[in-house]
Each structure stands twice: as structure tokens, then as C-alpha cells.
Amino acid sequence: MKIHKYDTVIVGAGGAGMRAAIEATKRSRTAVLTKLYPTRSHTGAAQGGMAAALANVEEDNWEWHTFDTVKGGDYLVDQDAAEILAKEAIDAVLDLEKMGLPFNRTPAGQIDQRRFGGHSRNHGEAPVRRSCYAADRTGHMILQTLYQNCVKEGVEFFNEFYVLDQLITEVDGVKKSAGVVAYELATGEIHIFQAKAVIYASGGCGKFFRVTSNAHTLTGDGQAAVYRRGLPLEDMEFFQFHPTGIWRMGILLTEGARGEGGILRNKDGERFMEKYAPVMKDLASRDVVSRSIYTEIREGRGCGPEGDHVYLDLTHLPPEQLDAKLPDITEFARTYLGIEPYTDPIPIQPTAHYAMGGIPTNVEGEVLADNTTVVPGLYAAGEVACVSVHGANRLGTNSLLDINVFGRRAGIAAAEYSAKNDYVDLPENPEALVVEQVERLRNSTGTERVAQIRRELQETMDANVMVFRTEQTIKTAVEKIGELRARYKNVAIQDKGKRFNTDLLEAIELGNLLDLAEVMAVSALARKESRGGHYREDYPNRDDVNFMRHTMAYREVGDDGTETVRLDYKPVVQTRYQPMERKY
């Protein structure tokens, strides 16, 4: 076991982690621990753009952007945070441009902007061009640009280091972050990183669904690490299903395709979104579009022999426009479906895409231990966190924005904290939990297989807690997850070695997914209303009287060792917008 000491440790090297690292490295001795090489992070898969009211191509302002974000999130958004997001968006985009990001340009040489779902002029009048983009690889360009600037700033990376545990020490009755425990993939060695400040920026947890746009590696490691240490997770029932995933595979086809003029059609060729969202049509918010697609499918208007998908139609757009603006997604259609998007519509279905919920933080990125108390020295930003700027449903292009605005904020806040504070003592045997976990898996003689349990978990999540939910389906999921958690205790791996043991890591990741799936289902069961991405057929209306509040889920361990999820609630921060009925 090795012990390292850094002022600031960042967990994860996607957009939020590297944006934080650029700030933290300038201000403190910083290490970035990442389970992948930095440029492998899933920020790179984001396509459509990053919202900011630059007003480069038409009138726009950050107040309209704030309103759209709040409305898009079905009024579960903390409005103070949304205001910061929209206001700082402009500098966030300009900062990236100055760092070198090759945005598409207007004829005048400014950053070009295009339409995106839910973004509107003057509080819902009509779609507005707010998304700053680089073809359909904006996320790739952000990830590359941030990595390039990390190279420039000399950021210190520990690649293929998996953080498996959060260390917390109680000082004078206050729980403080003491550091993290990491597992080095190449050697199997366990490392303690003692740090004054820790920032989680480890991304989402979409891999508990089967049809998902998420990478294999998005297994909620950061959320699980803090949750197991008694810290809450906020609004985990809110998961976004992106309307246009490639049929059966879930690979993302950007909303920018509809921003460029693409149209969703059912088996009769009907532009069905006109029925559900007369103003914004195909560019309504993602939750609305995904539900509309499944409504079409359920009512027998889906395409294909099984009627289980609809079409994304780009055939009326000029090939030159597709080549210039949507080169990657048209290539995905060719590569994975053998379809030529110039002439044929693309079969799509909603795909599990983004966790609105996560580790609760305030607007400085400080992690909360309950509704109000901050954990000194602990920060989170990006998809792993819940500020909450996305509320019940995130708008497209607001996640690339979130990672830049709140990644930067967390990086600065953490480094300033480490400049003013000393190390907290490590707890006794800091490595104990991780050693126990790793050894148990390595030595297990159980009969259960990781892939089998993961498959069953994904199937139950897809069937029971996806776009449409009821008490019955969620209870089925809760029960199944309970069974799988019990079986997981009996899981065994085949690779017993130390070197690059990805068999072991997949087992650990599955444990994280099971914990988070349970939190999600239990949170969803208790929310007896429909709001944003959480749609209950048995409670189809939003209920602001009882449920305009954030869910806070805590892990409770009984005297007999049984684990349960305890739910509490946190008020929503409202500033200038009163909840209204949401229409597009």
C-alpha cells in the first residue's frame, strides 16, 4: 500500500474533472485519478452542443435561458443555480474558445449557434439558436480541448486508478473528507490519497439500463462511494431517456439532428410530434418527446415487424448539410444499421442517457451531508453531482454547460479550501474496506456470475423503471433488485490475478450499480406524481403541493447488518419563476 499526499484530489477526468483540474492545478498541488485515460471519458460522446445566450445569430439573453432550464426541469430546478448556469454560460463558452476549441463559425467568424430541444425565445415563443457547437462532436472537442489545456498546465494524472472508497474523519463532531482509496489497475496495488480537498467528477450511472447511450464504464462509482459512507443522494429517480437512440443499441443520435430540421415519424409517415407539442414539435424537451414516441409505439403506430421503434427522418435535408453538420451520427447509421441517411429514415427508440440526480452540492460544488450541512473538503461536479440545475429533466446542451460552469467552480472552491485548511488525519486502517472488498471477490468460491446478474438488473430496469412507471412496475423492480443484491454476495470471478484485472473491476462496478439501482427504484416508488423524466401512469399529474421537493436518499444499516434506503426531502430553491403547467 502506498500513501500519497496532495492538496486537491480530483476523481474522474471527463469534462467536469479536467475543467476543475485546470483551475485547481493553478492554485494547489493537484492529482487527478481516473479509471480511464482522460480522453476516453464519456464527455467525448456528447454531440449536439453547449448552450449559451451569446446572441451571435439572433436575439437571446441569459434570463430566457434560465427560464427554459427551470421549465425544462419541470420546476424541480434550484433556480439560484440555474441562474448561475445560464449567466456563466457565456464566459464558459468564450473560455473554451480561448483555450482553442474549434467551434463552427458564422460567416462573420463568430461562434455559430443552432436550435436545440426546449431552448426558446422569450419564455417559450419559438425555438432559439442557443447551442454553440462543433459539428456533431462538440463533446469530443470539449474533452480534447480540456485535455490539451491540462497538458499545457502540467496537470498530474493517475491513469487507470479506480477510486473505490471515500475517507471521512470526524473532527470535533464534524465529518470531514480525509481523502480517497484507489485501486491501481495495472498492478492491483491499493493507494491512499490523503487530500485536503476531494472533488468527485466521475460521471453517471446509466449502465444499470440495457438500452443506454452510456459507456460500459459509467457505473456510478463516485455516487456509490459516498453513499456507502452515509452521505445522501439527491433526486435519483430522475433519469433522462434521450428520444433518439439507435434502435436496440441505444447509441446516441444527437438532438441536433432535429435542430437541423430532422423529423420524427411513425409507421404511417406522420409527423406525430405535432400532436404532442404544437409549438416546439420535434424540439420539445426530451422527456416529452420520449413519452410521445412510446405512446405511438403502444398505440400500434410503431415501425418494424414488432412495431417497437419510430423513425428519425433526415431524408429531406441536403446531403451537404448532413455532411457538414451531422457527419458522425450519419456514419453511425451507416456503420451499425447499414442505412444511408440521405435516402432512408433511421430506426430509433428512447435510450437511457443521463442521471439528473446525484451527490447533492451547493452552487460552490460543496457536498451536502443533509439538507444544509456541508462536508468540509468534499466537492462534486458534473453528472455525478446534483446542484440541481437539471431538476426533473435536463435540457439538451445543458450538460456540457454544467460540467464547464460547475467543474470550474468546484476546482476553484476546492483549491481555495485546500490553501486555507490543513490535512485531516486519516481514519484508522484507511484501506480496510477496499482490501476486504477486493479480497472477498478475488477469493470467492460462489456460483453467481457478474454478467448474468448485470443482465437481469438491466432487464428489470428497462422493463420497470424506464419512460413509463407504475407502483406495480417499480415494486417489481425493487423486489428484483433485492434478489440480485442477495445473489451478488455469492458472486465469483475467474481472474484471480493482480495485473489488469478487469474481471474484478466489473464485479466491483456491478456492486455500485446494484446500490444505485435500489436507490433509484425506492426513490421512484415514493414519488407519487409525474414530473419531468419521472412519469407515473398511476399518478399522471405533477403534484406541487406534496412533491415540489428534492428526494434525499440515505443508506441505513440496521443492527443486524440489513441495509435499507431511508428517504427524506429537501425544499426546492425558487427565486423568480412560479411553477406553471408545462407546454411545448
Partner 1 sequence: MATPVLDKVEAESAASPYITVTFRVRRFNPEVSAEATWEDFQLEIDPKERVLDGLHKIKWELDGTLTFRRSCAHGICGSDAMRINGRNRLACKTLIKDINPEKPITIEPIKGLTVLKDLVVDMEPFFQAYRDVMPFLVTTGNEPTRERLQSPEDRERFDDTTKCILCAACTSSCPVFWNDGQYFGPAAIVNAHRFIFDSRDEAGEQRLEILNDKDGVWRCRTTFNCTDACPRGIEVTKAIQEVKRALITRRF
- Binding site members for substrate: 242, 254, 353, 394
Binds partner 1 by CB under 8 A, chosen from 117, 347, 376, 407: 347
Binds partner 1 by CB under 8 A, chosen from 15, 44, 72, 256: 44
State the Cα–Cα distance between residues 413 and 197, nearest whole angstrom.
Answer: 9
Q: Minimum distance from CB of 488 to partner 1 (Å)?
A: 15
Binds partner 1 by CB under 8 A, chosen from 315, 421, 470, 476: 315
Residues between 60 and 99 that touch partner 1 (CB under 8 A):
93-94, 97-99
State the Cα–Cα distance between residues 95 and 142, nearest whole angstrom.
Answer: 11
| Sign of the alpha-carbon torsion through 201, 202, 208, 212 | positive
Nearest Cα residue to 364 out of 383, 385, 384: 385
Residues between 184 and 203 that touch partner 1 (CB under 8 A):
186
Binds partner 1 by CB under 8 A, chosen from 11, 86, 89, 141: 141
337 binds partner 1 (CB under 8 A): yes
Q: Minimum distance from CB of 494 to partner 1 (Å)?
A: 3
Q: Minimum distance from CB of 1 to partner 1 (Å)?
A: 20
Q: Look up residue 351 and give its amino acid.
A: T
Q: Minimum distance from CB of 121 to partner 1 (Å)?
A: 21
Q: Minimum distance from CB of 30 to partner 1 (Å)?
A: 17
State the Cα–Cα distance between residues 83 and 69, nearest whole angstrom.
Answer: 9
397 binds partner 1 (CB under 8 A): no
Applying CB under 8 A, which part among 102-110, 222-230, 410-418, 524-532 lies near partner 1? 102-110
In the set 286, 291, 442, 531, the catalytic residue is: 286
Residue number with CB closer to partner 1 (215 or 435): 215
Q: Minimum distance from CB of 199 to partner 1 (Å)?
A: 21
Binds partner 1 by CB under 8 A, chosen from 45, 57, 412, 426: 45
State the Cα–Cα distance between residues 279 and 284, nearest whole angstrom.
Answer: 8
Binds partner 1 by CB under 8 A, chosen from 215, 374, 426, 435: 215
State the Cα–Cα distance between residues 43 and 14, nearest whole angstrom.
Answer: 6
Binds partner 1 by CB under 8 A, chosen from 313, 383, 431, 529: 313
Binds partner 1 by CB under 8 A, chosen from 495, 526, 567, 569: 495
Applying CB under 8 A, which part among 57-65, 167-175, 388-396, 492-500 lies near partner 1? 492-500
State the Cα–Cα distance between residues 352 and 212, nearest whole angstrom.
Answer: 4
Residues between 500 and 519 that touch partner 1 (CB under 8 A):
500-503
Contacts of 473 (CB under 8 A, 6+ apart): 463, 464, 465
Applying CB under 8 A, which part among 18-26, 193-201, 437-445, 494-502 lies near partner 1? 494-502
CA angle 38/42/43 to nearest 5° reads: 85
- Grid coordinates standing for 470? 407504475
Q: Minimum distance from CB of 160 to partner 1 (Å)?
A: 9
DSSP 370-428: SSS-EEEEEEE-STTEE-SSSTTSPPTTHHHHHHHHHHHHHHHHHHHHHHH-PPPPPPS
Does the annotation mark 286 as catalytic? yes
Binding-site residues sit at 12-17, 34-49, 221, 242, 254, 353, 383, 394, 399-400
CB 529 within 8 A of CB 541: yes
Residue number with CB closer to partner 1 (474 or 493): 493
173: phi then psi, degrees, rounded to nearest 5: 80, 0
Residues between 399 and 458 that touch partner 1 (CB under 8 A):
449-451
State the Cα–Cα distance between residues 394 and 285, nearest whole angstrom.
Answer: 8
- Grid coordinates standing for 431? 484501506
Cell 448485470 locates to 454
Q: Count residues binding partner 1 (CB under 8 A).
A: 75
85: phi then psi, degrees, rounded to nearest 5: -55, -50
The three-class DSSP label of residue 442 is helix
CA 452 to chain centre: 25
Enumerate the active-site residues. 286
